[in-house]
């Protein structure tokens, strides 16, 4: 059971990383535009931050998948620990943006899903999954894959189900009638200026 849980939680976290990276690569302007609308980072750092996020997701996802398949337990635990920190950063960032009263898109993937509390919940849940996988794989010494083909297939299906449910959570629970709360100190002119030459849709708070 420990091996099954380790594989399922690790696989779900890695699939989420790869899905996020693929979404950013398929729509390069999406994340920079979202970061611009959030109004947290300086304009000159938006594209660099977006590129760093995309690279981190892709590299961690590929490294983790390689370690999982090859059975390199220590490397997998390290990748999952780094992924947990990344997802925790996402949760903290989105919580800060929402608390500041700014709106805009999530910037998570191809879809223009508005930022909401469910995006923060998803990031926190993915951080918990990655942490669980790291603990079970590293500290508990569980093998990276179950012993039989049937057990491996079951764990893979569980990982895919976890990842799919969490990935679609914000979209499934999004209320089109709801709008982000306005900051009590924000003025109508406090929204950031459009990001030049982004090539994507401009969002405002």
As a whole number of Å, the end-to-end CA separation of the chain is 46
Q: What does each of the 205 residues of the chain score in pLDDT, given as a tens digit?
A: 677 888 889 999 999 999 999 999 999 999 999 999 999 999 999 999 999 999 999 999 999 999 988 888 899 999 999 999 999 999 999 999 999 888 788 888 776 788 888 889 999 999 999 999 999 887 656 555 666 677 778 888 988 998 888 888 877 766 666 544 433 334 444 445 555 554 444 444 4
Counting the structural domains of the chain, the total is 1
User: How far, CA to CA in Å, does 113 sit from each of 15, 110, 188?
Assistant: 20, 9, 23
In a domain, 123, yes or no: yes
Asked if 60 contacts 82 with a C-beta cutoff of 8 angstroms, the reply is yes
What pLDDT is stored for residue 91 in this prediction? 96
Q: Please give the model's pTM, rounded to 2 decimal places.
A: 0.79
What pLDDT is stored for residue 178 in this prediction? 59
In a domain, 188, yes or no: no
What pLDDT is stored for residue 69 in this prediction? 87
What pLDDT is stored for residue 174 in this prediction? 64
CB atoms within 10 A of CB 196: 7
In a domain, 194, yes or no: no
What pLDDT is stored for residue 180 in this prediction? 46
Please tell me the distance from the alpha carbon of residue 175 to that of residue 185, in angstroms, as a whole number. Answer: 25
What pLDDT is stored for residue 76 in this prediction? 93
Q: Report which of 205, 17, 202 is spatially closest to residue 109, judged by C-alpha positions.
A: 17
Domain that holds residue 100: 2-171
| CA within 13 Å, CB half, 49 | 19
What pLDDT is stored for residue 189 in this prediction? 40
């Amino acid at each position: 059971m420990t091996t099954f849980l380790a594989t399922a939680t690790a696989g779900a976290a890695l699939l989420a990383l790869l899905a996020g990276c693929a979404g950013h690569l398929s729509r390069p302007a999406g994340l920079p535009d979202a970061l611009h609308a959030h109004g947290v980072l300086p304009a000159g750092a938006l594209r660099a931050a977006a590129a760093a996020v995309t690279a981190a997701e892709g590299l961690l996802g590929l490294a983790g998948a390689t370690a999982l398949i090859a059975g390199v337990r220590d490397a997998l635990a390290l990748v999952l620990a780094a992924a947990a920190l990344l997802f925790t950063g996402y949760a903290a960032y989105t919580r800060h943006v929402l608390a500041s009263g700014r709106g805009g898109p999530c910037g998570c993937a191809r879809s223009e899903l508005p930022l909401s509390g469910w995006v923060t919940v998803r990031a926190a849940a993915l951080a918990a999954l990655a942490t669980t996988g790291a603990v079970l794989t590293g500290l508990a010494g569980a093998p990276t894959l179950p012993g039989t083909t049937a057990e491996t297939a079951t764990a893979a299906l569980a990982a895919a189900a976890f990842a799919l449910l969490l990935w679609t959570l914000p979209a499934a629970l999004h209320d089109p009638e709801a709008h982000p709360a306005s900051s009590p100190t924000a003025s109508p002119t406090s929204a950031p200026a459009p990001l030049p030459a982004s090539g994507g849709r401009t969002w405002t708070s």
